[in-house]
Structure 1
């Protein structure tokens, strides 16, 4: 097996372990606020039809965004590598009396070259929120998403732009600066709420869960989407959240050390989207 594949497998494993441990803590005020904002922009970028639109929410976390989108969709399938997230998602579906045919989550470690990992299903919309910076090879993931889109379907990715001191934030977050005793409150669902809280690697156990500490530039995302044969790729800055604002929401504690430091940062969220021909 190629070295890069071994690394990717380890990265997937580390993320799955970490987020399973954090699944119950994701539903905090900060994560839910980020999820609400992300969902509002997603709804503006596609003509959703509750009688037609089928959505894949990849790296969905506990489903914070998916539940916002549900009234606008015929069906939503969540997919996550963390078993704990899958369980929280499906338990929430059951508690709200939603049919699993309407909405459910499955465990998917990584996307294969075919569509058998999601029962061969194709989707009108695929969303992936606050997870691309975890992917060692985001172009591979993007190409796999394209295979799972229906003709004229749309991929929408929300993540951190390369701005606002994001790299220094991640250095603190991973324990490379200061004592590492903090969790990640930006939602996997946002998930990394990392949708996207995460609690990365006590004792540096999970240093490899962040593959792209710089965030992404608009040029990187457009080039990536073009390389995956997506049509008319666009990138838009959708909102920002400075450290000072984050501290007004319950859940900021998951960032712990950097929140107590004098290091300032602002999360700049972008949306990249493109269509399958």
Structure 2
């Protein structure tokens, strides 16, 4: 019994540490590097679904400040962003206002976790759900995949971009969070994911036809050509080398 209680408590701390950390990062998230990565991710996402600007309704889960969402906007009818960090939600919605866009077309809501029932997002269903660079933060990727499956329309598609288990990624996470000793709270899957693991997660999460392929690579040498936020810049000055291997994985609602 005590064990269950601790686990629950840990889960809460974990989610809160994540939200606090990313709220702190929100205001300096829009850098040359993050914009470049967002553009590449958006280009890959657009190839993986027949987007229709008159029809496609998209959920961007763990959307951050919306860099990818705003890239995709011309190709969809409507986007709902969702993020657990209040700072990110605020930056996202401020951008909507600044760009003179209607909140019917695009807005962001603050969501800590999905329950996996009709209470999620008021029962709204989507043609596409995207989740970029966030699966490695989730303690239970299968549970969240099941919750996503419930928010998809029939034949709807989940598209995930994240880090492959390659290229010294664990060392990178340790370096980026070492000053605060916080990486255990923030990065659940420090190795990234193998392609086989993503396929297992999708199948266990009630989705079908799972596919995984390499999206793009981003070596440290290339990252250094873009201006980045302060902590990232520090890590890029470290003496170890790393390359991010991004995969794109997708699967469909039965």
- Same-fold call, TM cutoff 0.5: yes
Q: Which has the higher helix share?
A: 2
Structure 2 contact 173–183 (Cα < 8 Å) conserved: no
Matched, 1:226 2:169: no
Q: Which runs of 5+ in 1 are unaligned?
A: 181-202
Question: What is the aligned counterpart of 1:110 among 113, 122, 128?
Answer: 113
Q: Gaps (5+ residues) in structure 2?
A: none
Which residue of 189, 214, 233 corresponds with 1:237?
A: 214
| Alignment match, 1:171 | 174
Q: State the match for 1:275 in structure 2.
A: 252
> Does the 8 Å contact 1:246/1:252 carry over to 2?
no
Give the structure 2 partner of residue 151 of structure 1.
154
Structure 1 residue corresponding to 2:56, chosen from 41, 53, 57? 53
Partner deviation per Cα, 1:165-197 (whole Å, 9 max, x = no partner): 11111121221xxxx2xxxxxxxxxxxxxxxxx
Give the Cα separation in 1 of the matches to 2:199 and 2:6.
27
Q: Which moved more, 1:106-115 or 1:252-261?
A: 252-261
- 1:132 corresponding residue in structure 2: 135
Distance in 2, Cα, partners of 1:29 & 1:99: 27
- Larger relative contact order (Cα-Cα within 8 Å, sequence gap ≥ 6): 1
Q: How do 1:186-265 residues align onto structure 2 when only pairs under 5 Å count?
A: 203-205=180-182, 207-251=184-228, 253-265=230-242
| Separation (CA, whole Å) in 1 of partners of 2:148 and 2:224 | 35
Deviation digits for residues 29-73 of structure 1, max 9, x if unmatched?
Answer: 000000000000000000001111000000000000000111111
In the alignment, which residue of structure 1 is the partner of 2:102?
99
SS at match of 2:123: coil
CA RMSD of aligned residues (A): 1.3
Q: Distance in 2 between matches of 1:52 and 1:112?
A: 27
Displacement over 6 Å in runs of 4+ = none
**What is the number of residues matched between the two proteins?**
251
In 1, Cα distance between the equivalents of 2:56 and 2:7? 36
Distance change >3 Å, CA 3–CA 268, structure 1 → 2: same
CA contact (8 A) 2:96 2:103 kept: yes
**Residues 123-175 of structure 1: CA distance to partner in whole angstroms, max 9, x if unpaired?**
00000000011111111111100010000000000000000111111121221
Matched residue SS, 1:174: helix
